Homo-oligomer: A and B are copies of this chain.
Amino acid sequence: MLSKSHLKLITSLRLGKFRHEEGLFTVEGVKMVNELLYSNFEIKAIFATDEWISAGHLPPKRYTVEIFEISQTELEKISNLSTPNQVLALAFIKPNESLKCFKNEWVLALDQIRDPGNMGTIVRTADWFGFKRIVAAHGTVDLWNPKVVQASMGSVFRIPVHYTDLAEFLAKVCNTARIYGAFMEGDPVSETIFSDSGVMVIGNESHGISPTIAGLVHKKVTIMPATPDFNGRAESLNASLATAILCYEIQKQSKT
């Protein structure tokens, strides 16, 4: 059964304010909860239908997690999915660690990505291509937003995202790294030789990289369209596609 206090708690977590007050976020569906179960995130409780419970998804190390059996109707009340899928878990948000500069790796930096779908996809992509961490400027959409968590397909459990003052991070903490930025007017990515490690900055969906951050970038790069009239119309590929291409190219060069 779903108690009133659980219903109230879980639905309140749709808002970032309450997620961070409670230190909790939600994870939904069989596949995503499975990713959570095998991650190193602490789980507060699981709310699941009989179907999920009887299938025995729990690995031994999770035997102590509290499980509440709920009905399909109750699941629909707490779910953020258009098609609720057997289970919702409450997990503890990991604290935002202060970030050092890691000299021999590539870091993805996000300058205020706002769309949860884009954010989740970007986290997923960075994880796919072996980036070890992401730095996000204040103003970037919350990582624990249910849509970000779902769109990341579990990558939020694998790759840390540090929210910070991005200008300070680039200027002081990581001031020996080579900093690249995705702009509409830069050198073609396809002709760029990337360094062995560095920071790749991706800007906001509408406004791109903010002026302060732009001033700290050493090399501006652009994913060129095949025909120049695209650029004449002042358009760009969307942020998540651009990130995928940049991460792909950086990973490709790092292997050769």
Contacts and interface: CB of A to CB of B under 8 A. Distances in A.
A165 to B, nearest CB: 28
Contact of A190 (B225, B235, B238, B248): B248
A226 B129 CA distance: 5
A41 interface: no
A244 B125 CA distance: 12
Interface string A220-241: 0001011100100001011011
A130 B226 contact: yes
B128 A225 contact: yes
A121 interface: yes
A252 interface: yes
Contacts of A8: none
Contact of A240 (B124, B226, B241): B241
A240 to B, nearest CB: 7
Nearest to A237: B128
Interface in A89-147: 121, 124-125, 128-130
Contacts of A190: 248, 251-252, 255
Contact of A238 (B121, B129, B251): B121
A217 interface: no
B245 A153 contact: no
Number of this chain's copies in the complex: 2
Contact of A128 (B121, B124, B230): B230
A153 B244 CA distance: 19
Contacts of A129: 225-226
A248 B9 CA distance: 45
A241 B130 contact: no
A241 B123 CA distance: 13
Nearest to A255: B190
Nearest to A35: B233
Nearest to A256: B190
A251 B226 contact: yes
A220 B179 CA distance: 35
A248 B248 contact: yes
A121 B249 CA distance: 20
Given A128-B230, A190-B251, A241-B244, 10 more contacts: A121-B241, A125-B237, A125-B241, A128-B225, A130-B225, A190-B255, A226-B251, A240-B241, A248-B248, A248-B249
11 contacts: A124-B237, A128-B226, A128-B230, A128-B237, A130-B227, A190-B252, A190-B255, A223-B248, A237-B244, A241-B244, A244-B244
